[in-house]
Amino acid sequence: MQMTMRVTIKDVARLSGVSAATVTRALQGHPRVLEATRLRVEEAAQELGYRPDHIARALVTGTSRTIGLLIPTVSDPYWAEVAEGIEQRAAEEDFSVLFASAHGNPSRAEKMLDVFLGKRVDGVVVTASAGAEFTVLDGTSAPAVVVGWDPPVAPAEVERAAGASVVALLDEEGRRAGAPIPHVAFDDVGAGRIAARHLLELGHRRIAFLGGPATLAALLRLLGARAVLEQAGVSLESAALGADALEDGRVAAVGLLQSEPRPTALVAFNDLVGVGALHAAHSLGLAVPGELSVIGFDDIALAGFVEPGLTTVRQPKREMGARAIDLLLSVMRHAPSPGGDRLAGSLVLRGSTAPPPSA
């Protein structure tokens, strides 16, 4: 029955014959401590298996080297990857991450944030798709950043903007207007352009867009794609969808593919919708990519597991997480808040796109 006592700085001090203060200094690599002393202390610490108590340290220094991560859910692979990027970068900077999922429940989010604050996190990163999590941050004293912000937009606004230019939705620097706190986001407009350009280069001229729910991301991707296509004299029809991406994507694609003239390529708002479109093509007996090309966005794992593999515009999820930490650190250092960060997508070629049949 060995009741193991915690070994404290005092034990190390005693064993190495110095004061606690010196132990601290020696162990932290403080400049003004005799080399011999440092060695003696380090040996003693080693021998006793001393591990500094971060709790006590945090109490006195006022910094816990811990950040809080509020995430909708980690079982969505998209968020999981972002989370991984966050954790990795945080670890590199010697920060731990406390995580909690709110599952879209604002009161839960609020409670978790409270817990974080009580545990004296040095900062908070909120991953959010809906933006509802923002309200939670309102009275918060801790530095905070948001990653992956994608607020819903009113249908009316979609209508209006769909005809107008992209600019209305972004501020002068191309960042999302109205974001209340520093954030890192995906360059949806640019991603839309990339997708459109790819199809154009393959020779497609009859292209349709399968939208998602009325969110900013869906809208921006559409606008980006349309801008490029119109410059080439190609118009882009679009269909809006509901919440069940896969199934709605399938149904909408079936509809589009039965219209005349049939599009030769589909731009899906995201990969899930894209896979739905693949299912639709399959059920209609249309060969992909022989008779129909499909391109998605995000590059979730599923895109690589279907047959044919889904060509997509990759979202650098891991890096977005890493950037969120960088941004948070700079906010914590009271550096002039950079406002936001917008990461570019990249084309991932798989089997679902090819030149149109006639070409």
**Looking up tokens 């006022």, which residue turns up?**
62
Nearer to its own copies, 91 or 359 (CB): 91
Nearer to DNA, 59 or 164 (CB): 59
**115 near DNA, rule: CB under 7 A:** no
**44 near DNA, rule: CB under 7 A:** no
Contact indicator for 128, 134 with CB cutoff of 8 Å: yes
3-state secondary structure of 200: helix
For residue 146 the two structure tokens come to 């948001």
**18 near DNA, rule: CB under 7 A:** yes
Omega within 30 of 0 (cis) for the link into 31: no
For residue 290 the two structure tokens come to 């022989």
28-48 burial code (b ≥16 CB/10 A, e <16):
eeeeebeeebbebbbebbeee
Distances (CA, A) of 128 to 76, 83, 135, 217: 12, 12, 12, 13
Determine the interface stretch with its own copies among 176-184, 199-207, 231-239, 274-282 (rule: CB under 8 A): 274-282
Contact indicator for 48, 70 with CB cutoff of 8 Å: no
**20 near DNA, rule: CB under 7 A:** yes
Name residues contacting its own copies, limited to 172-231 (CB under 8 A): none
**9 near DNA, rule: CB under 7 A:** yes
**246 near its own copies, rule: CB under 8 A:** yes
DSSP summary character for residue 49: T
For residue 355 the two structure tokens come to 């030149």
Closest approach, Cβ 328 to DNA, in A, equals 21
**28 near DNA, rule: CB under 7 A:** yes
Half-sphere exposure of 92 toward its Cβ, with a 13 Å CA cutoff? Answer: 12
- Residue 33 interaction partner, one of DNA, its own copies, none, beta carbon < 5-8 Å per kind: DNA
- Residue 32 interaction partner, one of DNA, its own copies, none, beta carbon < 5-8 Å per kind: DNA
Residues at the contact surface with its own copies, assessed by CB under 8 A: 4, 49, 51-56, 58-59, 64, 66, 73-75, 77, 80-81, 83-84, 87-88, 91, 96-101, 112, 114-120, 139, 141, 246, 272, 275, 279, 282, 301-302, 305-307
Residues at the contact surface with DNA, assessed by CB under 7 A: 6, 8-10, 17-28, 32-34, 36-37, 50-53, 56-57, 59-62
